[in-house]
Every structure is written in structure tokens, then in C-alpha cells.
Structure 1
Amino acid sequence: MNADDTIICDAIDAMRLLIVDYGGTRRLVQPHVYGDDTQGHRLLSAYQLDGGSSSGESRGWKSFRMDRVRAVAPTDERFHAPRPEFQRNDGAFARIIRQVGG
């Protein structure tokens, strides 16, 4: 695993918020699923709490392609449960490396 993989997996395990630099903006997110999609792209599925967005929606579910992420950093802030609408074993992923709750 590379450094970003470790940061993201540790954050999912600890349910710790991440700061993701994506699309030229910083975003505060609750990471939920990390893995590879059916095209082989490494993805982070997360609920965005704050920050910029190309869609104009600063809150909501986002998928971040890791080849487009410029930086990822952990915070000291935690979330205490998965989002109520979180779906385990998301079909968008061909391979899940880590997801909230195991």
C-alpha cells in the first residue's frame, strides 16, 4: 500500500474525517468505502460535509478517483456511525479494499 492507501484505510477504520484536495478545492469528507471500480480506477466513496464541488453541491455523497486527488490528510475529528443511507458492499466497486464497519 502507498501512503494515501494507508491514510484512507486508517481513517475508515477509525471513522476519522479526511481532507481531500480534489478538483482544485479542499473538501472535508467522511470516508466510507475504498477500492477499485469496474474500470480499474481506485475510488474513495465518501460523504462530503464541506468544501468546493464542480457540481455546486458542497454536501452529499461523492466518489473521488484517486488518480485525480492531489492530496489527502487525516483530521482529529471523528464521525460516530456510518451515514444512515450507506450501502455496504457497494456494487460500483469491483474490489473493496476497506469499508466502514469491516
Structure 2
Amino acid sequence: MKRFEETICEAIRSMRLLVVVYGDEERLVQPYVYGEYHAGERLLSAYQVAGGSASGASAGWKFFRMDKVTSVALSDRRFHSPRPEFQRNDGAFARILCQVSD
């Protein structure tokens, strides 16, 4: 998990998409918030734009538990402004390590 933290926070700061392998499925996501859930697990809150999904929904808001992430890589693609429904300081997180700026 620690090994992914720097890459995730860099993507959030620079508003670059991430390629995340989660549950054996590759997903392309816009990362928004990375931090600790109330139970202590690390989570990434992101908007998935493409890729696989256990639920069948290949696009939409998702939480990614970092203990299930096997790979994280920066994409060359960027997103230019936060999605209108994005809310800073998400209450799902006990501690936010990095998040998209307004």
C-alpha cells in the first residue's frame, strides 16, 4: 500500500488518470481522494471511466480498498476539473492524505 501512495497522490495533485489493477481487472480512473477509512484501511475514492468491474458498472464513483489493489500506474491522460458532484473532505475518511483541489 505504501508503495502506491506516492503515485496516487502525484496523480491527484496533477489531475492525471490512474491505471489501477483491482480484483484482477484493469480500470482507468480519475483519482479524487486517498486516505484512511474509519476502520483503518486505506481507500482511494475515484471516478472510473473505463475498464472492468465486478458489479458490471464500468463507469461511476467507486471506492478502491488498497489491500485489493495489485498495481497502480500514472496515465498520460489528464482530467481538467473536478466532477460537479465531487465533495471535498468526504466523511467516509477518518484521515485524508491527499485530495483534488477546488
Matched, 1:28 2:28: yes
The number of aligned residues is 102
After superposition, the C-alpha distances for 1:14-64 in whole angstroms (9 at most, x for unaligned) are 000000000110000000000000000000000000001111000000000
In 2, Cα distance between equivalents of 1:30 and 1:37: 19
Q: Which residue of 2 aligns with 1:4?
A: 4
Equivalent residues in 2 for 1:1-102, closer than 5 Å:
2-101=2-101
Q: Runs of 4 or more off by more than 2 Å in structure 1? A: none
TM-score, length-normalised on structure 2? 0.97
TM-score, length-normalised on structure 1? 0.97
Root-mean-square deviation (Å): 1.2
Q: Match of 1:91, as an amino acid? A: G
In 1, Cα distance between equivalents of 2:47 and 2:57: 11
In 2, Cα distance between equivalents of 1:19 and 1:43: 15
Q: Match of 2:91, as an amino acid? A: G
Identity %: 64
Unaligned runs of 5+ residues in structure 1 are: none
